[in-house]
Amino acid sequence: MTDNSQIPSKDRFKSYLRKIGSGVHTGRGMSRKEAAEALELMLTAQATPAQIGAFMIAHRIRRPEPQELAGMLDTYIKLGPKLTSKKAHQPPICFCMPFDGRNRTSPIYPLTTLILISAGQPVVLHGGKRMPTKYGVTTSELFGSLGLNLNNLSLQQVQTGFNDYGLAVISQPDHFPLADNLIIYREEIGKRPPIASMELIWTAHHGEHLLVSGFVHPPTEERAWKALELSQTTNVVTTKGLEGSTDLPTSRTCIAARVRNYQPERLILQPHKHNCYGDDVTWSNLKNWSKIAIQALENQGPLKNALQWNAGVYLWLSGISKSLQEGIDRAQAIMSSGSGGSTLKQLISWRKNL
């Protein structure tokens, strides 16, 4: 039996490239172990730049298979940052947001996060700089426009803030530079590689949690279910959100699914039945967004319905509230009391005192 470890890394990578780049009739999918090693060779720059670019575009054309996504997840879990929860704490919601941000609709998830934290529901997010190919607004920019600077924190500082306040935002440039080194390839090939699909089902949190992933196309959702089953992730929500995000629309019925112990249950979420119906607010710029964001935290303005709807649904899905309507009512009560704004001020004070 051949010991692959004795084969030079660029030659091992070449064998994986041949598999996925040989065309429809002769190409083959990688095993989970092979996909894990292929990504590790890219992250650690043991594959050449030409090989990495060729792999990304070939794999995008071919589309990743569930076991390949599971293998790439294995590598991110192995090499990436790690967060944990204290035993007595409520398991967090891990929002797996698209790294390339938003540029058409106003994001709701930073505000949803503040309402959830106010209700005792911890939240984990991850993000990075403006990302090819969309270059949409980022998590750090959105929180920053509200006065909360989440850049340049050590992983230990993030963990401490998570323990004390229930919020953790993993920054790829600060906490996972190996992955950040691959961003230049996304820009040069002009397409989102399958690594981006894997990032939609990855979280830095280890342990029990509710993983929430957005999707655009139904096949993406099914691949995510199968990959997460292989990775033994048992509590998952997938949602056809705004621009592929985890933000639930208020302008239409939202198609989602709850997967528990690998059994999916389709959810039809109808905002008009809960007095949360309204147009999805378009994106303009950070200055305008921060103004209507603060209004929403005070139960006012154009984002009010969207925030009440999103926070209410996720309070229900997390188990904090026993029913969807109870979750919506609780979200409205938090917004009316100003608790979301108070949580924001506590986080700003924590950050300034570091």
The CATH number of the domain where 300 resides is what?
A: 3.40.1030.10
Looking at 15, 47, 62, the residue that finishes a domain is 62
In this model, does residue 205 exceed pLDDT 80? yes
Same domain for 119 and 256, yes or no, is yes
Q: Domain count of the chain?
A: 2
Give pLDDT, residue 7. 85
Contacts of 291 (CB under 8 A, 6+ apart): none
- Cα distances (Å, whole numbers) of residue 353 to 83, 153, 173, 348: 22, 12, 22, 9
Count how many Cα atoms sit within 13 Å of the Cα of residue 17 in the half-sphere of its side chain.
19
Same domain for 104 and 52, yes or no, is no
Closest CA to 345 of 297, 286, 288: 297
For residue 99, being part of any structural domain is answered with yes
Same domain for 306 and 173, yes or no, is yes
Q: Is the separation of the CB atoms in 73 and 198 below 8 Å?
A: yes
Q: Domain limits at 346? A: 93-350
The pLDDT of 68-97, averaged and rounded, is 96
For residue 334, being part of any structural domain is answered with yes
Same domain for 38 and 172, yes or no, is no
| pTM (two decimals) | 0.95
Same domain for 274 and 313, yes or no, is yes
Same domain for 46 and 152, yes or no, is no
Give pLDDT, residue 2. 47
Same domain for 41 and 105, yes or no, is no
Q: How far apart are CA 65 and CA 86, in angstroms?
A: 34
Same domain for 27 and 142, yes or no, is no
The pLDDT of 187-208, averaged and rounded, is 95
Give pLDDT, residue 26. 61
Contacts of 247 (CB under 8 A, 6+ apart): 105, 107, 108, 109, 112, 214, 241, 306, 310
Same domain for 117 and 244, yes or no, is yes
5 pLDDT band, cuts 50/70/90, is low
187 pLDDT band, cuts 50/70/90, is very high
* Percent of all residues in the chain with a pLDDT value above 90, rounded to a whole number: 91
Give pLDDT, residue 49. 96
Mean residue pLDDT across the chain: 95
The pLDDT of 217-227, averaged and rounded, is 94
Closest CA to 255 of 228, 218, 202: 218
Same domain for 17 and 139, yes or no, is no
User: Which strands sit side by side in the sheet containing 263-269, from one edge to the other?
Assistant: 167-171, 123-127, 93-96, 210-214, 235-239, 254-260, 263-269
323 C-beta neighbours (distance < 10 Å), count: 11
Same domain for 41 and 130, yes or no, is no
Closest CA to 140 of 94, 176, 163, 174: 174
Give pLDDT, residue 1. 40
* Selected residue with higher pLDDT from 8 and 274: 274
For residue 69, being part of any structural domain is answered with no
* Percent of all residues in the chain with a pLDDT value above 70, rounded to a whole number: 97
24 pLDDT band, cuts 50/70/90, is low
Give SS3 for 266: strand
Closest CA to 15 of 32, 24, 28, 1: 28
